[in-house]
């Protein structure tokens, strides 16, 4: 009997001890969510100068400011129809055994990838847009740059809309957010113009991450964001194993003013060495000087969009965007882009909340440092079902 009681006491003690050592929270099963949209784009593009690029060219998928042809006899108009912008995202959320919540997102579409063609099956490989997780006040993975403000993206039929003067960037980063203030260390990459001009050099020599900071605020119907960036441009210009470097910086101010059911969205960005952050890398971050050192290139951009609601189901936007650079032609030559701009007007109709049809007409202009310019007029239609 004594032996049995001793045995029971030992078992009870072991159980209680195990419970005392167990975590306070058990890990919950993750919850899943997925969605996206299917979008058909159809557009006709007419160029005032130069030859139309092949159907696999990225400029035939959506508007790229640096790809508007300049110089040469004008080509006939070209028609493109594709569903490559169709998108899929997958979200996961879970409470961990320490009581904290973790969430993740993976997002894919079929834009920009070089595989596939229009000959038979129009098959295109998916590409990674975003892949990140959030834990507490931290974001880790690939997401929108902290230097960009998403709230001012215009309501557009085109993939981006205000491309020329807008900060537009997704990349790997580590971000910390405290209230309205956020800081991030982001992937470094330098784009360089050779001395005297020539094909872009994409450097893989960066060591110091790009540092971005952003503050978001709101006053009544006006919301705004002020963002800054500091970065180091790096490239081994002479192949001796020793990188040449240059400091770079920039600021971006953006805002959205709600006017009842209408709104105005605008931004202004300026800096030295912004490079790939502005206008889809229309301008490089640096140029190689005669002595082999790097000099950061100055660039600026502005965007403006006015959105008007005709009814609960219909709306239109007028979108204007412009980007330009201050470059020494003795260093960069005269064949590089000096400025680009685009103005567009659209009409969007949604018979249901997750179904939209739209049309847009736009005119884009690109001018070189030599003074040569070219225009593109594009009429675009879209149909999109979100799920």
Residue 264 lies in a domain: yes
Question: Which among 344, 248, 328 has a CA at the least distance from the CA of 289?
Answer: 328
pLDDT score for 116: 86
d(CA 178, CA 171): 21
d(CA 5, CA 218): 69
pLDDT score for 7: 45
Residue 277 lies in a domain: yes
Residue 140 lies in a domain: yes
pLDDT score for 26: 54
Residue 248 lies in a domain: yes
Contact between 183 and 286 under an 8 Å Cβ cutoff? The reply is no
Residue 216 lies in a domain: yes
Residue 151 lies in a domain: yes
pLDDT score for 231: 98
d(CA 36, CA 88): 4
pLDDT score for 18: 42
Q: How many CB atoms within 10 Å of residue 312? A: 9
Q: Furthest-apart CA pair in the chain: how many Å?
A: 106
Contact between 71 and 50 under an 8 Å Cβ cutoff? The reply is yes
Question: Which among 372, 328, 367 has a CA at the least distance from the CA of 197?
Answer: 328
Question: Which among 341, 344, 347 has a CA at the least distance from the CA of 361?
Answer: 344
Question: Which among 161, 155, 163, 153 has a CA at the least distance from the CA of 356?
Answer: 155
**Model pTM?**
0.89
pLDDT score for 348: 98
Q: Give the phi and the psi of residue 320 in degrees, each rounded to 5.
A: -130, 135
pLDDT score for 115: 83
Question: Which among 105, 122, 104 has a CA at the least distance from the CA of 113?
Answer: 122
Residue 259 lies in a domain: yes
User: Tokens 């006709």 correspond to what residue?
Assistant: 44
Residue 3 lies in a domain: no
The pLDDT tens digits along the chain (387 residues) read 434 444 444 334 443 344 334 444 557 899 999 999 999 999 999 999 988 888 888 989 999 999 999 988 888 899 999 999 999 999 999 999 999 999 999 999 999 988 888 889 999 999 999 999 999 999 999 999 999 999 999 999 999 999 999 999 999 999 999 999 999 999 999 999 999 999 999 998 889 999 999 999 999 999 999 999 999 999 999 888 889 999 999 999 999 999 999 999 999 999 999 999 999 999 999 999 999 999 999 999 999 999 999 999 999 999 999 999 999 999 999 999 999 999 999 999 999 999 999 999 999 999 999 999 999 999 999 999 999
Q: What is the CATH number of the domain that holds 131?
A: 2.40.160
* Burial of 98: CB neighbours in 10 Å, binned 0-12, 13-18, 19+: exposed
* Tally of domains in the chain: 1
Contact between 205 and 232 under an 8 Å Cβ cutoff? The reply is no
pLDDT score for 8: 46
Contact between 285 and 191 under an 8 Å Cβ cutoff? The reply is yes
Token pair, residue 228, equals: 């800054």
Q: Dihedral sign for Cα 58, 61, 64, 67, please.
A: positive
pLDDT score for 25: 54
H, E, C per residue of the chain? CHHHHHHHHHHHHHHHHHHHHCCCCCCCCCEEEEEEEEEEEEEEEEECCCCCCCCCCHHHCCCCHHHCCCCCCCCCCEEEEECCCCEEEEEEEEECCCCCEEEEEEEEECCCCCCCCCCCCCCCCCEEEEEEEEECCEEEEEEECCCCCHHHCCCCCCCCCCCCCCECCEEEEEEEEECCEEEEEECCCEEEECCCCCCCEEECCCCCCEEEEEEEEEECCEEEEEEEEEEEEEECCCCCCCCEEEEEEEEEEEEEEEECCEEEEEEEEEEECCHHHECCCCCCCEEECCCCCEEECEEEEEEEEEEEECCCCEEEEEEEEEEEEECCHHHHCCCCEEEEEEEEEEEEEEEECCEEEEEEEEEEEEEECCCCEEEEEEEEEEEEEEC
Q: Which domain holds residue 160?
A: 40-79+126-386
Given the DSSP bridges, would you call strands 87-95 and 170-178 parallel, antiparallel or unpaired?
A: unpaired
């Amino acid at each position: 009997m004594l032996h049995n009681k001793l045995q029971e006491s030992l078992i009870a003690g072991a159980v209680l001890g195990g419970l005392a050592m167990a975590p306070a929270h058990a890990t919950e099963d993750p919850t899943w969510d997925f969605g996206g949209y299917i979008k058909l784009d159809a557009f006709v593009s007419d160029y005032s100068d130069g030859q139309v690029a092949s159907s696999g060219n990225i400029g035939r998928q959506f508007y790229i400011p640096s790809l508007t042809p300049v110089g040469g006899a004008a080509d006939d108009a070209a028609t493109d129809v594709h569903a490559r912008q169709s998108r899929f995202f997958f979200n996961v959320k879970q409470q961990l055994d320490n009581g904290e919540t973790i969430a993740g997102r993976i997002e894919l579409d079929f834009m920009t990838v070089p595989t596939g063609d229009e000959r038979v099956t129009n098959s295109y490989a998916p590409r990674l847009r975003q892949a990140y997780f959030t834990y507490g006040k931290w974001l880790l993975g690939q997401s929108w740059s902290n230097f960009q403000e998403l709230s001012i993206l215009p309501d557009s039929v085109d993939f981006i809309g205000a491309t020329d003067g807008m900060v537009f960037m997704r990349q790997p980063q580590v971000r910390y957010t405290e209230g309205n203030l956020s800081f991030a260390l982001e992937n470094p990459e330098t784009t360089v113009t050779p001395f005297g001009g020539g094909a872009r050099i994409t450097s893989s020599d960066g060591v110091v991450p790009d540092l971005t900071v952003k503050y978001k605020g709101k006053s009544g119907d006006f919301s705004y964001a002020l963002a800054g960036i500091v970065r180091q441009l790096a490239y081994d210009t002479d192949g001796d194993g020793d990188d040449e470097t240059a400091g770079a910086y920039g600021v971006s101010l953006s805002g959205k003013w709600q006017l009842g059911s209408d709104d105005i969205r605008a931004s202004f960005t300026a800096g030295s060495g912004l490079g790939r952050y502005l206008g889809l890398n229309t301008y490089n971050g640096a140029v190689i000087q005669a002595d082999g050192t790097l000099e950061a290139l100055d660039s600026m951009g502005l965007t403006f969009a006015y959105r008007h609601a005709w009814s609960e189901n219909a709306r239109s936007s007028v979108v204007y965007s412009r980007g330009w650079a201050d470059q020494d032609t003795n260093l960069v030559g005269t064949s590089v882009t000096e400025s680009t701009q685009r103005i567009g007007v659209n009409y969007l109709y949604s018979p249901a909340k997750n179904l939209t049809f739209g049309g847009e007409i736009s005119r884009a202009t690109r001018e070189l440092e030599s003074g040569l310019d070219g225009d593109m007029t594009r009429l675009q239609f879209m149909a999109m079902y979100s799920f």
